[in-house]
Each structure stands twice: as C-alpha cells, then as structure tokens.
A and B are shown apart, each in its own frame.
Chain A
Amino acid sequence: MKKEINMKWNRKDLLGLEDLTREEIKMILDTTESFKEISTREVKKVPALRGKTIANLFFESSTRTRISFELAEKRLSADVVNFSASTSSLSKGETLIDTARNIEAMKIDCVVIRHSSSGASYMLSKKLNAAVINAGDGTHEHPTQALLDMFTIREKKGRLEGLKVTIVGDIRHSRVARSNIWGMRKMGMDVRICGPKTLLPVNIEKTGVKVFYDIEHAIKHVDVIMALRIQKERQGQSYFPSIREYSKLYGITGERLKYAKEDVLIMHPGPINRGVEIMPEVADGPYSVILEQVTNGLAVRMAVLYLVMGSKTKEVSA
C-alpha cells in the first residue's frame, strides 16, 4: 500500500517518553485510534497476539494500571500471567534479574513491569530478549499514562501543538508528570507546573516548562488542568505543613476554574483524593475527563503492546 504511513516501529521496549521521537509518539496515538473501537464490539477481542505470552510483574501496588494492562493483553488474545511481589519468591531473597530470567526461561514474549526503583525497567530490558514495557518505575517515568493523557487531550481538542496545560501538585515524586513533560514538550505543548516549592524538582525549567507557585496565576487561560494525587504516604516527610493547607492553596475548586479557558479539560491520573487535590464538584463536573482517561488507557496499552511485540529485533530469534 503506497500512501500509508511509511513509518515502522523499531523498538523492542517502551521504557519512557524521554527516548521517543515526536513521530514515534504520534504513531502510538494514531494506532490507539484504531484500537479504541475494539472495546465497543460485541466480541471485545482480536486475534493479533494469539499465542504470545505476557508476564505482568507488579512489584508495587496498582489497580487501574494492572487491570488496564491485563485487559489490553486479553483483548489482543495474548496469554497472561500475573505476578505480584507479595506472593513471589522475592520474599525468599531472589533478585529482580533472577526472577525475570526465570520467567523468561519459560518462553515469555513480553514483560510489563512496575517497580518502586527508578530505572528498574531499563535494567530489565538490557537483560532480557523479551519486550519490556514500563508500567511505572519509581519517580522516573510512566509512559503509558502520559500517552493516554495526550491521547485524551488530542481526542477532545483535535490537536496538541500550541495547547497550554498546567500540571498541579507533587511534581517531584511524580513519574506521571515526568513522562507528560517529556511527551507534551515533544508534541509542542506549552507546559506549566505548579505546586509548593518543596514538591517541584530543582532545575525543572531546563525541560522547557514554566514554573508557578500560585495556582490562580498558573491556570490562567489554560486548555488543560491536570491535578496529581497528593501522596499521603509521603506525609510526615514535611514537604508541606498539612494536607488542609495544601488543599486550600492548590486544590482545584469549582471557583478556581473561572481563571482557565471556558472549555478547560480537567484531568487526573487517579487515584483521586476527593477534597484534597481536587474537589468532588470538579472531579465529577462537566469539564472532567477523568473516566475517559481510563477508557483511553486501555486502547493506548493495546496499541503499545501491538507495536512493541511486533517489532522484530535481531537479538530475538526464537
């Protein structure tokens, strides 16, 4: 076929958006459009990955991402094995690499990994012939989340280039924010971050984002507001005085929305702390696309699995 996109996907792994080119990100988003329809069919399944086996290694708790990946895999007809840290031989002292090698010895085609250490998926990708997909590594990257965020924005606004987005909250510990900053900057978006100084990484301006400490200023005339979860588990490390104060200064309230554009999109990667970083009237309000993000997440993961598992690299010669 002559006029089709000539681009080919050549990566064995999806580890982070820092590595990807603008064209590769666009290719994933375009492919996602085709996969979205599958979940609306009578039979929500296509045979594309029939006979392939995928291991989901979740060393850190997750509901949404784990279920989303598992459903995506099953809707592509792959066979799926799940692994969670609490029930594994990790508790017997086995290292991550040994665990992964043993799993690969059982002829697994793809590993989806979430781990609390930044770089865990990179390390794994160097040791395994199987495809590796990063489902969140420490405070580093969570590429599929950022891809589904960008897909949702593009679907709603028709484009990404030139749009203004403000990410509010704990940027320092957020892999979602990091992946989004890489991805959105590459797609030509104007990215702003806002939060207490203690929760913003130093030198973040070097990535091309604009830094704000005042929420009303930060969301002025923006197209998208993305609230991040305040990670209560980090409380007690005195990043900010109290949750109540944070909520008062940075919480997304219905009142504050008047500063943003009239058709602003409200996003949140979940799980939500209602009444902390986002008020219920906003989370459930007419501008919120939080549940559509979840729906799109499934399609994005199907697209990523399809692309990554189809790329034939030299070292994989089964």
Chain B
Amino acid sequence: MVGGMDMSLKEKGPVMDKEGVERTISRIAHEIVEKNRGTDDLAIIGIRTRGVFLAERIAKKIKQIEKAVLPIGTLDITLYRDDLSTIASQPVVHKTEIPFDITDKVVVLVDDVLYTGRTIRAALDELIDFGRPKAIQLAVLVDRGHRELPIRADYAGKNVPTSQKEIVEVRLEEYDKKTEVIIIGKHAK
C-alpha cells in the first residue's frame, strides 16, 4: 500500500519511539489487569500482522506483573473483510490460530492502529464464530480517529489526530527490525 505512483511520501517524524512504545505497552498491560481485577478468564488475541506481536508483548508484560500466563491467539480477518468483492485481487490469507476455547473468556483483542473500525468489525464477527466470549475488549497502540463504524477502544496507547491523507505506521522489531510509530504524509505531485 505504500508507494502509489503519483504520490510522494514524506515522513513527518516519529509519534512514538522505541521507549515510548514499550512504556505504552506496559501501561496498557496494567490497565487490562486493573480493569478486569486480575487475570481470571482473560485471554489475548492479536490481529495479524502487527497486532500479533503487540499481543505477545502485552501477555509478557502481564506475566511480569501478575505471574499469570494468559492463553494467546492469532486472528487473520481477511476472509471477513467487507471489501473482498471490490478490491483488485484476493488478499493473501494467513492462518487464524486460537488454540483454546474462547467461550466464557474475556478476550482482549489487540491491533496496532484503530482507524475506520472495519478491521475490528471483521475481527468481532470472526471471534464469535469460535464461541461465545463473556466479553470482548479492544486494545490498540494508536487511535488515529476517522471511525466509520460505532467502535471504540477500551485501551488506547495514544490518540493521534491525523488527516485521512496520512498513513500511520507502527513498526515493531519482531517484524520491521525497528520499533517506532511514524506518520507519513501523502502529497500529490
């Protein structure tokens, strides 16, 4: 998606650096434990691609705080997208892996950026096909606004006001070699 032909891309500088991302994840982990009064029935599910690594980081942090190992899963929402019939070519489908029963669990969904809310809508639909969780909560590293559906985050790392022409990119060491959050501006040439 990066690199449109008639667009030039300009990095507008970092929204969060490595330490900022780590502190934010730590805060989200604490908030999750606080809001749920512990870790009973908690489970964490990351949305592909970067939500998976964020979910792992949050689970690791909660383990440090509470000495509890949470069940962790991975969701690929491709087959639940609402734009499958309009986009040019079928997107690559990756594995969904939820190796535990989500029924009666409090599932914390994790994604990197909350934007239109359409990814979360798809994730909610897919999760419900696996069982009936007691509750689903949403944790995101960045909320950039511009919602198109009535969806909000329970845990938002940082609210970043953006224009719809901009791209918010979360980069994580596990996948991108470097950890940071940046805004990229798109300018027509």
Q: Which residues of A contact B (CB under 8 A)?
A: 1-5, 8-10, 31, 33-35, 37-38, 41-43, 45-48, 51, 76, 303, 306-307, 310-312
Given A34-B94, A311-B90, A43–B175 Cβ distance below 8 Å? no
Asked if residues A306 and B93 are in contact (CB atoms below 8 Å), the reply is yes
How long is the Cα–Cα vector from A248 to B38 in the complex, in angstroms?
Answer: 68
With a cutoff of 8 Å between Cβ atoms, the chain A residues found around residue B40 in the complex are: none
CB within 8 Å of A: which B92-111 residues: 92-97
Q: Is the CB of A47 within 8 A of B79?
A: yes
Q: Kindly specify which of B7-15, B58-66, B124-132 makes contact with the partner chain.
A: B124-132
List residues 129-183 of chain B with CB under 8 A from any CB of chain A.
129-131, 175
* Contact A3:B93 (CB < 8 A) given known A41-B129, A43-B130, A310-B84: no
The answer to whether A48 and B96 have CB atoms under 8 Å apart is no
Query: CA A303 – CA B93 in complex, angstroms?
Result: 9
B169 to chain A, nearest CB (A): 10
Is the pair B131, A42 in contact by a Cβ cutoff of 8 Å?
Answer: yes
> In the complex, what's the smallest C-beta–C-beta distance from B33 to chain A, in angstroms?
28
- Give the complex CA separation of A8 and B84 in angstroms: 14
Residues of A within 8 A of B89 (CB): 8-10, 310-312
Whether B95 pairs with A34 at a CB distance below 8 angstroms is yes
If the complex has contacts A34-B76, A47-B125, are A42 and B130 also in contact, measured as CB distance less than 8 A? yes
- When C-beta atoms are compared, the residue in chain A nearest to B126 turns out to be A46
Tell yes or no: B88 within 8 A of A by CB: yes
Residues of B within 8 A of A45 (CB): 129
- Inter-chain CA distance A195–B164, complex, in Å, is 66
A310–B94 CB distance below 8 A: no
In the bound complex, CA of A35 to CA of B129 (Å) = 15
Lowest 6 CB-CB distances: which A-B pairs, in order? Answer: A310-B90, A43-B129, A46-B79, A48-B79, A34-B93, A8-B89
Question: Cβ of A2: which chain B residues have Cβ within 8 Å of it?
Answer: 2
Interchain CB contact under 8 A, A312 and B1:
no
Q: Does B49 contact A (CB under 8 A)?
A: yes
Q: How far is the CA of A45 from the CA of B128 in the complex (A)?
A: 11
Give the chain A neighbours of B90 by CB distance below 8 A. 8-9, 306-307, 310-311
Chain B CB count within 10 A is highest, among A3, A48, A307, for: A48
A55 to chain B, nearest CB (A): 19
Which B-chain residue is minimally distant from A51 (CB atoms)?
A: B85
Residues of A within 8 A of B126 (CB): 46
18 residue pairs bridging A and B, Cβ less than 8 Å apart: A1-B1, A34-B76, A34-B95, A37-B97, A41-B129, A42-B129, A43-B129, A45-B129, A46-B80, A46-B129, A47-B79, A47-B80, A47-B125, A48-B79, A306-B79, A306-B90, A307-B90, A310-B89
Query: B50's closest neighbor in chain A, by CB?
Result: A1
B62-90 vs A: 1/0 string, CB under 8 Å?
Answer: 00000000000000101110001100111
Look across to chain B and name the residue whose beta carbon is closest to the beta carbon of A4.
B92
Q: Which residues of B contact A33 (CB under 8 A)?
A: 95
Please, how many angstroms separate the alpha-carbon atoms of A6 and B78 in the complex? 16
A45 to B97, CA, bound (A): 15
Within the complex, the shortest CB–CB distance from B12 to chain A, in Å, comes to 19
A31–B130 touching, CB < 8 Å: no
Q: Roughly how many angstroms separate A76 CA and B84 CA in the complex, as a whole number? A: 12
Q: Which A residues touch B125, using CB under 8 A?
A: 47
Q: Is the CB of B92 within 8 A of A5?
A: yes
Q: For B128, list chain A residues within 8 Å (CB).
A: 43
Q: What residue of chain A has the Cβ atom nearest to residue B80's Cβ?
A: A47
Chain B residues with CB under 8 A of A76: 79
What's the Cα separation between A303 and B96 when bound, in Å?
Answer: 14
CB-based nearest A residue for B2: A2
With known contacts A5-B92, A37-B97, A306-B93, A48–B1 Cβ distance under 8 A: no
B76, B93, B175 pick with most chain A CB within 10 angstroms: B93
Bitwise, B1-42 to A at CB < 8 A (1) or not (0) is 110000000000000000000000000000000000000000
CB distance from B62 to the nearest CB of A (A): 26
B82 to chain A, nearest CB (A): 9
Contacts of B78 in A (CB 8 A): 48
Interfacial chain B residues near A307, Cβ < 8 Å: 90
B129 to chain A, nearest CB (A): 4
Which residues from B are CB-within-8-Å of A311?
89-90
Q: Please, how many angstroms separate the alpha-carbon atoms of A46 and B130 in the complex?
A: 11
How many Å from the CB of A135 to the closest CB on chain B?
21
Chain A residues near B93: list those with CB within 8 A.
31, 34-35, 303, 306
Interchain CA distance A8-B88 in the complex, whole Å: 10
Closest chain B CB from A1 CB (angstroms): 6
Shortest CB distance A30–B (Å): 8
CA–CA, A5 and B93, complex, Å: 10
Residues of A within 8 A of B1 (CB): 1
